[in-house]
Amino acid sequence: MASRAMMVAVLLAAVAATCARAQLHEKFYGETCPSVEDVVRKEMVRALSLAPSLAGPLLRMHFHDCFVRGCDGSVLLDSANKTAEKDAKPNQTLRGFDFVEKVKAAVEKACPDTVSCADILALMARDAVWLSKGPFWEVPLGRRDGSVSISNETNQLPPPTANFTVLTQLFAAKNLDSKDLVVLSAGHTIGTSHCFSFSDRLYNFTGRVNPTDIDPTLEPQYMAKLRNKCTSLNDNTTLVEMDPGSFRTFDLAYFKNVVKRRGLFHSDGALLTNAFTRAYVERHAGGSYKEEFFADFAASMIKMGNADVLTGSQGEIRKKCNVPNH
């Protein structure tokens, strides 16, 4: 009897999850705020024309939002005692929060109390990719905003130091598979990173903290270039292009770098340790299947954007993205 009740509970949970995803659709604001995408894109075009390097951080912000509590805008919330997601170490290098508030204000002016911050962030991430010469996709909308943001929960974020096993476990927790992992990792084709996210590969790979303690899987010439930029483990300010030479263009160069053992992070190099993800990297390193990769990236972004969403009467529509309504 107990096992039957448990089975029913599991089935109901699965149905609820399916229904939540089903409530997201591209025309969700078709009647209540038909101009929302135009409003967001106008702000994005203006901002990226002045600061094209903002595209990568906005894509990353959506990713970090979805991996903690689902895509509910919780990464945007402030905390008076500095215990929100944005205060946690993995999120302290996120940028663009003020710009998100600016876009939200523009949307509020057009359609008050209608569009969630979670949806705005999803649209901004899509436009960040598209305006960087990447793919365009229709974003399913209808997310609601959460009101809880806890710094300790950012341990659900895939760290740049993770190996393949850890990466697949963290992705699986969000219903994302190995293909999603290798496809979404290619988001590293735009943007920059601080040295401290990978400098252990240069000076402290096994914990000995000396100039010879290097990651042997990193290509030697690339290693030398990185060490020239990041001169010590204590460098907390220097920024390095994640995709050298085209870090403002969404393209397939990321795969070319990874296959040459020039992926910046442990997590990039980890893609070569699994047969499936390695084959995917090698297929796209030649650059002959751009449209195929673009379609895959769009599909994985939509899939990630469905992670644990709040819909219907759940959550709220925040007036400002950094504070709950009540």
**245 annotated binding-site participant:** no
DSSP 194: E
Angle, vertex CA 194, rays to CA 192 and CA 197, nearest 5: 110
CA–CA separation, 306 and 26 (whole Å) = 12
The answer to whether the annotation marks 38 as part of a ligand binding site is no
CATH topology of domain 162-303: Peroxidase; domain 2 (1.10.420)
Q: Is 292 annotated as a binding residue?
A: no
The reply to whether CATH 3.90.76.10 applies to domain 22-154 is: no
Distance between CA 14 and CA 9 in Å, rounded? 9
pLDDT digits (tens, 9 = 90+) for 172-211: 999 999 999 999 999 999 999 999 999 999 999 988 888 7
Q: Is 251 annotated to bind ligand?
A: yes
Active centre residues (catalytic)? 64
Asked if the domains 22-154 and 162-303 are classified in one and the same CATH topology, the answer is no
Cβ atoms of residues 60 and 187 within 8 Å: yes
Domain ranges of the chain: 22-154, 162-303
β-sheet bridge partners, residue 316: 145
Positions in the chain short of pLDDT 70 = 1-22
Q: Is 284 annotated as a binding residue?
A: no
User: Looking at residue 153, what is its pLDDT?
Assistant: 97
Which pLDDT value is given to residue 6? 45
The residues, any chain, with a CB within 8 Å of residue 178's CB and separated by 6 or more, are 168, 171, 274, 276, 277
